[in-house]
Structure 1
């Protein structure tokens, strides 16, 4: 290969080679390296911009209530071993999410009102979104209302169901306080089961105990939420809201 000493105004002499295409000489290797570095940085910045834009959009359309917009797992107050278990499992779920998201690993948070079930579930959803994945939050009541509204409008019921069956993670809150009509359970089963057969993770939150929740959802649905690496986490301790109210009064 023909070689020749060339001069770069910035870096001085360098040995150039005739390129295999055309009658062109290779550029200064330091300049070429700097150009490649700039290109890599530009591509990295563009990728970071796209990722941050996606995260911002996922946060915007997540449906997470304003009250829990800054919820964090570390911000959950722990005073008992049972609370520690719930926090530990939540952390592990987030840490493992990228590896288990396609396995449909789900959770059930059930127990007394005011014990932080929604806080922890929303904190998990926020962490999942920050990792670059999609997550949605909705109460069962609002989900059923969205479905019912389609019966009176031109919107397809399937489009509403699809919105919640295809999200990366679904947090379904307040399950069990619906009207108790048969079709309520049928639609909830439809959403949960569709996610189950497509290996999409779901977090179900309920103020019912495990037996009442199993009765409401039906044993097949309840079992599917705990299948594999899934778990049902009990929240039976003093209401944090009640404790805070007592402090304000006292």
Structure 2
């Protein structure tokens, strides 16, 4: 860049005090080629920073993390006993494995109020900060969106399934809670099959026990869910919301 400036504009006798090179005459101004290059680089860096911030905001907005958990992270998860510490470590390791390109699945089960959604959103936020596309949604809401797609002139069931397949990580919360209608559950399973075929990572969060969840998914889905590696997190402790916990 500085060579181009030196060739494009005539040199003058004055030297740049900072870089000790001849300045050039650019219209009414005398400029240093090195200073001009640094200004261009700085402007490029600032532009790239603005672009990166816009992309980050779009990714976070598209993730649809619940407002209550917009600040939920691994650092502010309250691990007061061994079970919670183990659950936290499993989710942290899962996030780290995704960051380096491993595409495992994760199942998190346990009763309400045990911090499952906090941990899932902490995982999402960690990955989003690394530029990995994540989508959080409840099983009921996903089934409803797919079921209602046919009512829209520019949408279809297959398009809706594809949208949920396209994310690097899908976090499917409240599986088995409000999606018990057989047809709705089949729509959820279509997404899970599609994500398996696409080699995408999925996190299922459920109040069901692990045995109940395995039975609900069925042998074929359960087998596929384990194919690329499966992390299981069982949150077997009391409701923390009662005491104002996570």
TM-score normalised to the size of structure 1?
0.81
Question: Map of 1:1-250 to 2, 5 A cutoff?
Answer: 7-11=12-16, 31-100=32-101, 103-154=102-153, 155-244=155-244
Q: 1:77 to 1:14 in 2, by over 3 A?
A: closer
User: Counterparts of 1:33 and 1:105 in 2: how far apart (Å)?
Assistant: 49
Check whether the contact 1:104–1:196 (CA below 8 A) recurs between aligned residues: no
Runs of at least 5 residues in structure 1 that lack an aligned partner in the other structure: 1-5, 17-29, 246-250
| CA deviation profile, 1:166-225 (whole Å, cap 9, x unmatched) | 012211001012343332332222111211221211111000011100111112323333
CA shift for structure 1 position 31: 3.2
| CA deviation profile, 1:45-75 (whole Å, cap 9, x unmatched) | 2221111101111112211111111111111
Check whether the contact 1:135–1:169 (CA below 8 A) recurs between aligned residues: yes
Q: What root-mean-square deviation, in Å, do the aligned CA atoms of Structure 1 and Structure 2 show?
A: 2.4
CA shift for structure 1 position 128: 1.2
User: Counterparts of 1:53 and 1:66 in 2: how far apart (Å)?
Assistant: 20
Structure 1 runs (4+) greater than 4 angstroms displaced: 12-16
Runs of at least 5 residues in structure 2 that lack an aligned partner in the other structure: 1-10, 24-30
Check whether the contact 1:105–1:228 (CA below 8 A) recurs between aligned residues: yes
Secondary structure of 2:171's match? strand
TM-score normalised to the size of structure 2?
0.82
User: Counterparts of 1:15 and 1:73 in 2: how far apart (Å)?
Assistant: 54
